[in-house]
Structure 1
Amino acid sequence: MARTPTPAGTDAEREKSKRVGALGELRPFLVPYKWMAVLAGLALVLTAGVSLTLPLAVRRVIDSFGSDSVAILDQYFGAALGLAALLAVGTGLRYALVTRLGERVVADIRKAVFDRIISMSPAFFERIMTGEVLSRITTDTTLILSVIGSSISVALRNVLILFGGMIFMLFTSAKLTGLVLLIVPAVIIPILTLGRRLRAQSRENQDWIAASSGSASEALLSVQTVQAFTHESQTRAEFSDVTEKSYDVARRRITTRAAMTVIVIFLVFAGVVGVLWVGARDVRGGIMSPGALVQFVFYAVMVAGSVAALSEIWGELQRAAGATERLIELLRAEDAVQDPADPVPLPETVKGEIRFEGVGFSYPSRPDISALEHVDLVINPGETVALVGPSGAGKTTIIQMIQRFYDPQTGRVCLDGVDLRDMRRDAFRRVMALVPQDPVIFAASARENIRFGWPEASDAEVESAARAANAHEFITGLPAGYDSYVGERGVMLSGGQKQRIAIARAILRDAPVLLLDEATSALDAESERAVQLAVDELAQNRTTVIVAHRLATVKKADRIVVMEGGRIVATGTHDALVAEGGLYARLAKLQFTDGSGAA
């Protein structure tokens, strides 16, 4: 909480695309619904065509004022009414199809981004805040929804009206149309110039919104710590600072867009007024009929309106282009850990032998510090091995390497003789059960949290696992028992209760490889003993790796591996290691005596 988040998009990244063409990246999401898009396009052409036909009817009506035939006048008004009905139906159909298309495409984009991110290794989340990812999935996709569900459709309709109107204007009066064309360069130049600046500002605005979401997410997920250390004022100030920067960029974007709108609309309508002045003089001189002038006025207003609308929509397209870039960055993000193209299948019967062969590893965020240094370790099938040592010795890193959350820079990690990098991650992780140091509890019922270990488990199997983890008694004491909602991150449970649910989850998984990372650290002495008995029972005939600071929990392990500074410095049983002296003996002396006697 001591740092102020910065937006992930750098200036270099924003230079990647200075054009709305970035929206072309959405094509793969549109292709499955091409027929819906085609129907929407046909409805769009229909409505644009009807709109362009209406001024012709108006001209006929005005020029027929000099005729004595009322029937002709009635026919023209009837035709105009029919065109209006056709325009209404076509517009409604276009809206329904385009809006549905937008919702469908954005739902697919959200799922694609989430599917990609949920499988990324932990190294990815060292570079980006979770709140920023959520901002991209929500805020950025909302912008894309606005564009696909509205802006693109409106833009295409205005393009058709612009060119169709220009053609009809040319047939109505070539002279007046020529004068109108003189205005076009004056309108296009500010659109292109200011539009480029607007795109960069829109992208920066979205980056700061994401940074603001990341800051808020981090603070709210740690709200108890923030309050415990009376850090509310600093946290408010940091969030306010990021939010104000987001507002400043938004203010500049709004100013740029407003300036572009003012310039374009003034130039367009000033030109139209000038052209109409010339047309009015031609009517007085008998060069053109009043109906022709009115028809030309209608088309001129339609063309001017379409240009003004396109200048507005251009800003929306610029923002959506930036949002698209950000989402595509997530979809194309390279994961440091990849499944092989031709994976080796998991053995039908997993014995559970784990082998580290010359493993060296440094975390991506700390490349100069070795987390593991030339580690050679063989854990035999069914063996219980405890990893002990001071904080930062590399114990938890061993657990993470076994699950292949990271790949070693040197050496390899094998399961039953097969390099983990040669198998699919979801294949070998299915035969592992984990109890992490910080138990993860989901915003669901106690029953569903335990069933997370094995989704197909029956209620009886869930309750059996809870009994084995010494969790049944406190769960039945909850207001709704196993169906009690435990709150976000298990906020309604104590630390020990959360840990027991996590252990029950691992027991229910019934996997050949069991990984316990400080599994009993949050339990009181009585609960720890009960859970330890359950773990001892569970560990039979399973390969079990236990990380523990409290040596009392590992005395019964088949083998104890002592680690320091990323290296294995000793291995053996509790009694043998105590007799050896060294690091383990010192730790045992501190924990089992007052620090002055023997272990």
Structure 2
Amino acid sequence: MSATPPQSTRAYTSLLPIFSFIKPYKWVAALALCVLVVTAGLNLSIGQGVKFVIDSGFIAGSEEQLTQAIGGLVILISLVAIGTFCRFYLMSWLGERVSADIRKAVFSQIVHLHPSYFEDNRSGELMSRLTTDTTLLQSIVGSSFSMALRSGLVLIGGLIMLLVTNLKLTLLVVACVPLVLVPIMMFGKRVRKLSENNQSAIADISTYAGEIIQHIKVVQSYTHEEKEKQAFGGEVEKAFDVAKQSIKQRSFLIAAVIFLNFGAISVMLWVGGMDVLEGRMTGGELGAFVFYAIMVAMSVATIAEVYGELQRAAGAASRLLELLKIKSAIQSVADPAPMHQSEDTVIAFNNVDFYYPSRPDSAALRAINLRIRQGQIVALVGPSGAGKTTLFELLQRFYDPQVGDIQCNGEDIKALSLTDLRKSMGMVPQQPVLFSSDVWHNIRYGNPDASDEQVIEAAKRAHAHEFIEQLPEGYNSFLGEQGVRLSGGQKQRIAIARAILKDPELLLLDEATSALDAQSEFHVQAALNELMHTRTTLIIAHRLATVTHADMIVVMDQGQIVATGTHHSLLEESPLYQRLCELQFEKAQSGVV
């Protein structure tokens, strides 16, 4: 069995793929590194300036030489300041740019993942990866990486200058280096583990808060405000406890390094001071040596701090890379078949069995065989859990069946481009989905290239234009998160306008008029009837009175098709359909809503 790689090696391995995002900006990175090298060299030159000030100014007692020495030192410091500005700007720009690119890459990955992935992974955790984790990496690329390189160069250069200045004292400083490395290695492992735990705890907080905010009306309706405050406080405190442990370990690391560094400098000062008193070295040499020793000590301390940041970032990088490596279970074929439109049978389900990935032992659909012809209006009816919505999801290829196949215009939908397949369909769900934007955006989502006139025409056909005009800013009105500023019926009409604007070949209606009042339902149903006249339509119907006109009604129960036919034929042939009709029409006659 191979040995486990050291923690630091695994940290670097986790981060290496992230640095591939720097490649498009290699010239910026190269310029930043050049500036960094020059600035490090200038920093080291200051030590010689200090030596010159002490030996030629203070000890020599010459005002002119002192003035020249101080002037040269000021010039060096000014050049260091300019170089630091350039380095900081370039590296910070690079960090922000890389962070933005990583966010885009992660989001691009998320929007193409199969829906079953989101059954097992919480949205709050994904948001944490998209924001918190990428921010950590931005800090590494834009700040910590630069600091580590600069400190590494200064450390190497400082050690060389120490050797040039005084060999005996340098050997004394070098002998202390192992003492500094021990706490770095010891605490670094703990920091990484605790940082990963901290990121997970933050994701838990985001998930919990997101759910409460999303369902705030339910929370307030059940008067659970205090309960939720306490529960959220508990989540925050758990994250704080993890963060405290991480902070404590990092603090120990930094404190130990500083103590050991400056303890070594103190010993070196005593030895060097004795040499100056005995005339074995000049005050300027000691001053320069102290300067270089402090620079070396500060560099080691910085590297120790960056090492802690590196361990934190390695955890974030691992989570992001894990997400970026996921392959969607639903893939568009490399060489898709063209979409035909001349087939008489538009949709065909051939002996389809389907199990949801989260429920592999329970069949959602069994032995489904169904033919839907061009221009037909087909209604899917049955009790809750019969599999009606699952048919819609398979048809749009959110999932693939385990057995059988689904054909669209004579082609297996797996052989078609996902984009072409889904563009040919228009979905109006029972619970309309609106975005946190204005009316223009929400309707134009059906066709991003539509003109304002086309958007308004779609709204009129959905009987939404009148109430939109009455909004504070008309079509420019912001609708709030999930359209919270609109009533249920208004949201439904916006969703119908979106489907009308898309002008699809196949309409998928999940009881699209269920949220409307009687007057609005009459108008919208008339608009939908006009729209359905020229295209194939599938309707999930919970109220049977709305689909008695359908060309074919498919009765489903427990994932199976138990009967098909017209309203009148099913009343005679299907006991389940008879029972559903009796229950609904009896309620309607008795006034039960």
TM range (shorter): over 0.9
**Structure 2 Cα separation of the partners of residues 69 and 526 of structure 1:** 100
SS at 2:262's partner residue? helix
> What's 1:3 paired with?
none
2:163 maps to which of 147, 160, 170: 170
Q: In the TM superposition, what are the counterparts of 1:6-155 in structure 2 within 5 Å?
A: 18-65=10-57, 66-67=59-60, 72-155=65-148
Shift of 1:72: 4.5
Q: Which moved more, 1:15-24 or 1:230-239?
A: 15-24
After TM superposition, the runs of 4+ consecutive aligned structure 1 residues lying more than 6 A away are 14-17, 348-352
> What's 1:422 paired with?
415
Q: 1:477 to 1:23 in 2, by over 3 A?
A: same
SS at 1:336's partner residue? coil
Q: Does 1:159 align with 2:142?
A: no
Q: 1:86 to 1:349 in 2, by over 3 A?
A: farther
Shift of 1:476: 2.3
Shift of 1:538: 0.8
> What's 2:284 paired with?
291
- Tell me, yes or no, if the aligned pair for 1:386 and 1:561 is still in contact at 8 Å: yes
* 1:401-427 Cα deviation digits (max 9, x unpaired): 111111111111111121121222112
* 1:511-551 Cα deviation digits (max 9, x unpaired): 10100012111112222222222211111121111001100
Q: Does 1:589 align with 2:582?
A: yes
Q: Does 1:355 align with 2:348?
A: yes
Q: 1:205 to 1:341 in 2, by over 3 A?
A: same
**Structure 2 Cα separation of the partners of residues 466 and 451 of structure 1:** 10
- Tell me, yes or no, if the aligned pair for 1:129 and 1:214 is still in contact at 8 Å: yes
**Structure 2 Cα separation of the partners of residues 266 and 142 of structure 1:** 31
1:453 maps to which of 446, 471, 484: 446
- Tell me, yes or no, if the aligned pair for 1:562 and 1:570 is still in contact at 8 Å: yes
**Structure 2 Cα separation of the partners of residues 439 and 240 of structure 1:** 33
> What's 1:7 paired with?
none
Shift of 1:140: 1.5
1:497 maps to which of 477, 490, 506: 490
Shift of 1:74: 4.3
- Tell me, yes or no, if the aligned pair for 1:352 and 1:513 is still in contact at 8 Å: no
- Tell me, yes or no, if the aligned pair for 2:345 and 2:410 is still in contact at 8 Å: no
Q: Which moved more, 1:434-443 or 1:479-488?
A: 479-488
Sequence identity of aligned pairs in percent? Answer: 51
Q: 1:585 to 1:192 in 2, by over 3 A?
A: same
SS at 2:281's partner residue? coil
* Unmatched segments (≥5 aa) in structure 1: 1-11
Q: In the TM superposition, what are the counterparts of 1:253-332 in structure 2 within 5 Å?
A: 253-332=246-325
* 1:382-439 Cα deviation digits (max 9, x unpaired): 1111000000000001011111111111111111121121222112111111101210
* Unmatched segments (≥5 aa) in structure 2: none
Q: How many residues align?
A: 585
* 1:181-235 Cα deviation digits (max 9, x unpaired): 1111111011011101101101110111011101111111111122222232332
**Structure 2 Cα separation of the partners of residues 594 and 45 of structure 1:** 83
- Tell me, yes or no, if the aligned pair for 1:517 and 1:547 is still in contact at 8 Å: yes
- Tell me, yes or no, if the aligned pair for 1:571 and 1:577 is still in contact at 8 Å: yes
SS at 2:374's partner residue? coil
TM-score, length basis structure 1: 0.94
Q: 1:554 to 1:451 in 2, by over 3 A?
A: same
- Tell me, yes or no, if the aligned pair for 2:563 and 2:574 is still in contact at 8 Å: no
Q: 1:594 to 1:258 in 2, by over 3 A?
A: closer
Q: 1:345 to 1:594 in 2, by over 3 A?
A: closer
Shift of 1:124: 1.4
* 1:307-330 Cα deviation digits (max 9, x unpaired): 111111221222122112222222
CA RMSD in angstroms comes to 2.1
**Structure 2 Cα separation of the partners of residues 577 and 308 of structure 1:** 81
- Tell me, yes or no, if the aligned pair for 1:356 and 1:412 is still in contact at 8 Å: yes
Q: 1:191 to 1:133 in 2, by over 3 A?
A: same
**Structure 2 Cα separation of the partners of residues 309 and 351 of structure 1:** 73
Q: 1:352 to 1:23 in 2, by over 3 A?
A: farther
* 1:135-166 Cα deviation digits (max 9, x unpaired): 22111122122221211111111111111101
**Structure 2 Cα separation of the partners of residues 188 and 352 of structure 1:** 74
